[in-house]
């Protein structure tokens, strides 16, 4: 599974070997990453984020959110 997230305004892409048994395209989930090396990260598929304010605070734009709806 491939996912993206922001750290300090920079966009990162990462892969997870997890088999989530279904596509999660267009959904937002909690991602934890190293403060020293943001390329070291983990996505938590059991922690879906639906609060638009939190998604915007994470670095995504209105366009990112609207392109999913």
Mean of pLDDT values over 11-19: 79
Mean of pLDDT values over 16-42: 80
Supply the pTM of this predicted model: 0.74
CA nearest to 31, candidates 13, 14, 44, 21? 44
Tens digits of per-residue pLDDT, 45-65? 899 999 999 999 999 999 888
Q: Of all helices (H) and strands (E), which one includes residue 53?
A: helix 52-57
CA nearest to 23, candidates 45, 8, 54? 45
Does residue 22 surpass a pLDDT of 60? no
For position 39, what pLDDT does the model report? Answer: 87
Mean of pLDDT values over 17-26: 63
Residue 36: pLDDT band with limits 50, 70, 90: very high
């Amino acid at each position: 599974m491939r996912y993206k997230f922001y750290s300090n305004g920079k966009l990162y892409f990462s892969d997870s070997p997890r088999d989530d048994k279904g596509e999660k395209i267009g959904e937002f989930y909690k991602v934890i990453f190293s403060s020293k090396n943001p390329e070291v990260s983990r996505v938590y598929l059991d922690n879906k984020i639906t609060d638009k304010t939190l998604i915007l605070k994470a670095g995504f734009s209105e366009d990112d959110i609207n392109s999913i709806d």
